Chains A and B, each alone.
Chain A
């Protein structure tokens, strides 16, 4: 005669086990697709911010990479031929609505670092307002500017001050740090 508590617990445990198993299966099945989506999206973004780069390699131990809440998360070296011509930096920061991720393309030549483009990868900004940081008129102003960058070189967006100034700050900090470190490797 099995007590009621044991029966109830058994039912719960069985359900949880089945749930865990099916989720593990679904996870394994969908993971390749999710990873591929992310890989493709990253490739498109890298090409967009650093158009002359032919291929990109992730530099896992680059000194710029930070584990703080905000900062450079990943460094991708962009190659033309066999030489490193520049970098794509994935920078994370907290915008108005939450966490924001940018990809900043920088060309490094003769000790000079020039921004080639930026792209907003992820954001939680307000649709129609803060979201406008992804529009060409705002993103376009970064290309061609040489390090060291200054805040007064860039315009922010009316009605989206916090979102846009945050983007400007993230770009300036990451590019200037890259510049002072002599382009890293």
Chain B
């Protein structure tokens, strides 16, 4: 399924199997910095998705005209342009969140996910496929941010998206929304996913009676 070249396969691959945040460990900086509340994670993911989709489609459209030797600077200019657009749109229409995200919006331009997907896929494939790939990776990124942010907000403030999720006497652990909490949460989250994968692999092995490690 992961090797499926169909549109849906491409999309799913970006979302789950090769989830940028939880598996490929790409785009780490915004992941750790803006996931202290679920809302911030959502807006950040959305902005990154916007930049990724627009840049991927534009570059895919003109891929035959971009000289290989200067392709990286050209990719960078295109991505930086869309990032600036996203920055101004946020400032104009959601100023409170724009203020909170701060310099991490401009930093989308060096998010390795974007340049990575463009170089690996959009510069070599058609517009529709590139759209599927960008949507998949972008949504995967947003999903990863949301999971991390929800955990941190719940444990650190006792809420998710501002809605209280714990009983009244719950004392939140402030450290979760501070830098250490970010590292710890992501570390344990990935550890958990590894454990899950290894368990699945073991079970699969047992089923077919084969030998594993």
Name the B residues within 8 Å of A8 (CB-CB): 67, 69-70
**A23 proximal to B (CB < 8 A):** yes
Name the A residues within 8 Å of B193 (CB-CB): none
A172 CA / B156 CA spacing, docked (Å): 34
Q: Are B95 and A26 in contact (CB under 8 A)?
A: no
Q: Chain A's nearest CB lies how many Å from the CB of B102?
A: 8
CB closest chain-B residue, reference A20: B81
**A59 proximal to B (CB < 8 A):** no
Q: Chain B's nearest CB lies how many Å from the CB of A114?
A: 31
Which bracket fits the contact residues of B?
Answer: 20 to 34
Q: Are A22 and B81 in contact (CB under 8 A)?
A: yes
Name the A residues within 8 Å of B178 (CB-CB): 126-128
Name the A residues within 8 Å of B69 (CB-CB): 4, 8
Q: Are B95 and A16 in contact (CB under 8 A)?
A: no
Q: Are A37 and B95 in contact (CB under 8 A)?
A: yes
A4 CA / B68 CA spacing, docked (Å): 11
Indicate which residue in A4, A12, A30, A41 contacts B74 across the interface (CB closer than 8 Å).
Answer: A12
Return the CB mask of A128-160 against B: 1 if under 8 Å, else 0.
110000000000000000000000000000000
- Chain A residues close to B by CB (< 8 Å): 4, 7-8, 11-12, 15-16, 19, 22-23, 26-27, 30, 33-34, 37, 41, 122, 124, 126-129
Return the CB mask of B82-115 against A: 1 if under 8 Å, else 0.
0011001101110100010010000000000000
Indicate which residue in B67, B78, B92 contacts A19 across the interface (CB closer than 8 Å).
Answer: B78
Interface of A is mostly: helix
Q: Are A15 and B85 in contact (CB under 8 A)?
A: no
Q: Are A19 and B73 in contact (CB under 8 A)?
A: no
CB closest chain-B residue, reference A12: B70
Q: Are A11 and B74 in contact (CB under 8 A)?
A: yes
Q: Are B78 and A23 in contact (CB under 8 A)?
A: no
A22 CA / B102 CA spacing, docked (Å): 23
11 more CB-based (< 8 A) A-B contacts, given A11-B74, A12-B77: A8-B70, A11-B65, A11-B67, A11-B70, A12-B73, A15-B74, A27-B88, A30-B88, A37-B92, A41-B95, A124-B102
A4 CA / B65 CA spacing, docked (Å): 14
Interface of B is mostly: helix
Indicate which residue in B66, B77, B88 contacts A26 across the interface (CB closer than 8 Å).
Answer: B88
Q: Are B77 and A33 in contact (CB under 8 A)?
A: no
Q: Chain A's nearest CB lies how many Å from the CB of B60?
A: 15
Indicate which residue in B67, B70, B80, B99 contacts A122 across the interface (CB closer than 8 Å).
Answer: B99
Q: Are A19 and B81 in contact (CB under 8 A)?
A: yes
Q: Chain B's nearest CB lies how many Å from the CB of A36?
A: 9
Q: Chain A's nearest CB lies how many Å from the CB of B19?
A: 27
**B25 proximal to A (CB < 8 A):** no
- Once A127-B36, A127-B177, A128-B174 are accepted as A-B contacts, the answer to whether A19 and B85 lie under 8 Å apart by CB is no
Q: Are A30 and B81 in contact (CB under 8 A)?
A: no
A33 CA / B94 CA spacing, docked (Å): 10
Name the B residues within 8 Å of A41 (CB-CB): 95
A4 CA / B174 CA spacing, docked (Å): 58
Return the CB mask of B145-168 against A: 1 if under 8 Å, else 0.
000000000001000000000000
A19 CA / B177 CA spacing, docked (Å): 37
Q: Are A19 and B77 in contact (CB under 8 A)?
A: yes
Indicate which residue in B36, B88, B156 contacts A34 across the interface (CB closer than 8 Å).
Answer: B88
- Once A19-B80, A26-B85 are accepted as A-B contacts, the answer to whether A33 and B70 lie under 8 Å apart by CB is no
Name the A residues within 8 Å of B66 (CB-CB): 11
A26 CA / B81 CA spacing, docked (Å): 10
